[in-house]
Structure formats: structure tokens, C-alpha cells
Amino acid sequence: MNILAAVFIDSIDLRQVAGPSTRIDLTGVQFSIAAPSPVPVTIEPHLVVLVHCPDNHSGNAALEVVYWRDGEQIARNVQPLQVDPGKFNYRLVRAELAFDDYSTIEAHCRVDLGPVTVVPYTLLPLPSVTMAGAYRSALSLHPVAAAATGEVVGDILEAIGPGPDLAVVVAGGAHGASLQSVVDTVRSTLGPSTLLALESDAVIAGARGIEDQPSISLWTGGCGPVTPVSVQASVVDNELDIRGIAQLPHDGTLLLVAGTDFPAGAVLDQVALERPHLVVAGGLVPAGSRFGLDGWMSPADASTAVGVVLAPGAATVSVAQAHRPVGDPMVVTQARGHVIEELAGAPALDRVDALVRSLDGPLRDLVAGGLHLGLVQDERKVDFDPDDYVVRRVLGAVRDTRAIAIADTAKVGSVVQFQLHDPEMAGTELRRVLGGNPGSGALLFTCNARGHAMFDDADHDPSIVADVLGTTAVGGLFCAGEIGPVGPRSWLHSSTAVVVVFAA
């Protein structure tokens, strides 16, 4: 009995053709593999051995495969062979091969005591293994989208080379119309394992924020393997049908992006129930903007959110509010849905009137920016920081019942505190939440009401992030809604800056 060929493969399929005759389709023939993680690792490759039995053979034999590395036997497999005389057959051989270093193992195959067929198998380092912890951002303001894309890709290739684990490209201004061609170029020239593509009115790169002009921002990171995911939400029989959460892991960090028509709040509620230990961060692209993942691009009426899951410990997430708590924390003593009727035993609108009368000087001036209510997420605490609140706008008042309406629901017994929109507080909070949180790179999802609209400077948030973290490897965009954790779960916010900091 003779060995005709022996190769490592991904899969094998048999099909019948005219004759009758059999075709053997081998997929993913390989003699090397990139390590799924830094060594030491164990690999379980599939070796297929094709054999032929001569007409004068009994049809019974034994197949022996011995795996050798540097003259040392590390594994052995022996299995019986039964092949009809004059026919062909194959055997699959699987072994657990332990690699302590990037090296080559040889599979020595023979039937009975016949000639040996040697098949090498080499473990290669992933690009991310050699560039682990390497992060970079690039920006181009070239007015031609193709040229701008070439500039940012060239900057990344020159700095850290091809093959990052994750790339995030944002096409700003007029370049948003060329997002698909931008994606095609980045994928073909940079070769990221996963590519998240976004369109926005404003992009972030390094310490800069660029609003309302043609721009391309490209961020790359060697953050380790990431898992592309999607979540769908649609209305079926007047009920919201959410799909995809069951496929999400139970922990780690999910970077999620969607359009403004996506029911992000309801989806985050469901994630909190089904995946309570999964941190979600990201944002909503501005109305009419597109987003995509690994070549897929969202339609205009997308009911799909896409993203990537980072391994536990790969990143931390901080949420910086742009509101100043005023007055005292109070318990909600009567409420119905979005309407709060009583705070600490008094009509809610009376509490508002008393608060406004108590303010003077600069704080009273801030009331013109609107009144908000902070919903405390960890009521076990005695003192609350600004990032202990999920902040929601006070929508109006019901004069006859002295109640107020908010853009959320507040449960009876929960703790709340009034908040004022405060640009000075926004900068202070961003520095505070990032303090003591070193990183090699960051993605910033900041509200499109920040930038020039809040600070007269689009660089405000990215420059703080770059300064505090000590890195210019900052990417991201200005969003129409930001996603990040407050307390034990993640929420949809407004006027915040959500920063995903990648471990140093």
C-alpha cells in the first residue's frame, strides 16, 4: 500500500462525478499557521494522508504518523487501514502539538514499514505578536479621498507595518461619500484582521478634532485577537425583536456602533440582562451616515449594529460627563414612567423652583443651558462623583400636578440629583476619569455637541486624552449618542466623552 500525498488541511470533501468517479476537494492546504496567541500554545492541525492499494495487496495495513521536532519525537499516531485492492482512500490524523517557541514540526508518515513521507508544519508569529501594544493614529486633510486614504495608510505602514489586529477608519465631511472605496483600500493595503469603518461630520486623530471638512482618520492597534459581531433589532408584531446577543461573550469589552435609528437604549437594556459582565462602549454615527465592518456597509435604514469584542483586560472604558451636580441628592418618592411627581416627599416642580432660587452668579447662568437630572447607579455610596450618574434631560413640567418629565424613567426609591450643563466641568471630568489609567492607545467617542459647540475648540477632548495618557495614538469620532458604562452596566448617553483605553 502506497502513500500518494500527505498535507495539512482545513477540510476535505468528497463528491461524485460522471464515470462514476470520485473527486476529493481539499480546502486550506497549509504547511504553516500563525500563532493564535503568544507561545506557549497547543495546535491541533488536521493531516490528511491519501493512499492507494495495489491490485495484489490484501487491503489491510497500518498507518503510522510520528511527529518530530529537532530530532525529538513529540507525538505518535497509529491507525488501521482498510482499502479495497486497486482503490484509493484517505485517513485524517489529528494530534495535539505543543509549541514552546515559533518552530517547525515534521510529520513522518508511513504505511507498515514502507517509505517515509515527511510533511513540515511551522508555527509563525502573528503580526500582532511582534507589534503587541503598538498603536498608531494618522490624519489626512487632503481634499481628494483616494489621496487622503493613501496618506494615512502610508503613515501607519511606515510606523508599525501591516496586519494590525484592529483598524478603525473614519471618513469625515465630504469624504464620507467615498467610505466604501476608503475601506477597500485600507483592507487591501494595510491588511487588518478586523476593520471598523465609520462616517461622521467630525473625526478624531491624535490630539486633533476635525469638524465639517474633508478628512480621513485611521487608527490601528495591536490589541490582540478581536471578535467581529453584529446585533439586529426590528419590530415584529408591534414588539421589538433583538437578535445577536446570545452570540456575545459573557465578559470583555464590546465596541459597538450603529445609526441613530437603531434602538440602542433597548438593546443595552437587554445586554445588561443577558450579559451583565460585558462592558459596552461606542457610539451612534450622525443621522444619514454609514458604518461598516470588514467590508459590510450599513444601508440607510440600518436595523443592525456592528462591533468587535475585545478580550477581558485588553481595555478599560471611562465616561466623562459634561454636567455639574447641584443641590442635594434626593429620593424619588412618587413617579409614573417618565413623570416624577415627588422628590423627597415634596412636589418635584417645587424642588426645581427651590433649586433655581438657591443658585447665584455663574451657576444661575448655567440654567439657561437646560436642567438635567442625574440618576444614581450605585445607591450604596454615601458621596457621589459626577460619573456615578446617568444624566437625562428634564423635558418639561406639569403645572397642575407640580410634576416634571424626564427623558427616561425613574423608579420610586431611587436617588437622583439635579445637574447643569457645564463646559468647564466637562474638561475637568475628562481629566479626572482618565487619571491613573495609563495606556498605549485610545478610541474616543465624544458627543457632537462638544467640540466647537461647547468649547470653541474641536481639539478640546482629543487633546486632553492625548495629554493625560501621554500618547498621540488616539482615534475616534464625534457621535450623535455615546455608549459607555456607568455603575454596573452600559447606557446610551448624550454630551459625554467615552474613552476606550488600551492597556500599555
C-alpha cell at 66: 510520528
Domain of 96, in residue numbers: 2-125
Distances (CA, A) of 258 to 12, 262, 283, 428: 39, 6, 7, 29
Distance between CA atoms of residues 441 and 418, nearest Å: 34
- Residue 341's region, left for phi above 0, alpha for psi from -120 to 50, else beta, is alpha
CATH of the domain at 37: 2.60.40.10
- From 67, 99, 125, the end of a domain falls on 125
Distance between CA atoms of residues 93 and 108, nearest Å: 12
Same domain, 383 and 299: no
Same domain, 250 and 389: no
Same domain, 412 and 433: no
Regions in the chain scoring below 50 on pLDDT = 127-132
Of residues 429, 406, 403, the one with CA closest to residue 416: 406
H or E element at residue 272: helix 264-274
Distance between CA atoms of residues 54 and 57, nearest Å: 5
Distance between CA atoms of residues 172 and 475, nearest Å: 13
> Pairing mode, if any, of strands 339-343 and 403-406?
antiparallel
Return the pLDDT at 127: 46
245 phi, psi to nearest 5 deg: -70, -35
| 288 three-state secondary structure | coil
Same domain, 164 and 286: yes
H or E element at residue 150: helix 145-160
Of residues 256, 312, 326, 288, the one with CA closest to residue 498: 256
Of residues 99, 94, 153, 86, the one with CA closest to residue 126: 99
Each residue of 430-439: pLDDT tens digit?
A: 999 998 777 8
The total number of structural domains that make up the chain: 3
- From 362, 386, 421, the end of a domain falls on 421
Same domain, 411 and 439: no
Same domain, 459 and 401: no
Return the pLDDT at 22: 86
- From 92, 109, 125, the end of a domain falls on 125
Q: Residue type for 248, please?
A: L
| 273 three-state secondary structure | helix
What is the DSSP secondary structure assignment for residue 411, as one 8-state letter?
-
Return the pLDDT at 126: 56
Same domain, 308 and 407: no
Return the pLDDT at 301: 56
Same domain, 335 and 255: no
Same domain, 434 and 355: no
Return the pLDDT at 128: 41
Q: Which are the contacts of 417, defined by CB distance < 8 A and separation ≥ 6?
A: 325, 326, 327, 328, 329, 330, 373, 374, 376, 384, 389
Same domain, 72 and 155: no
Same domain, 156 and 289: yes
Distance between CA atoms of residues 388 and 378, nearest Å: 7
Same domain, 31 and 96: yes
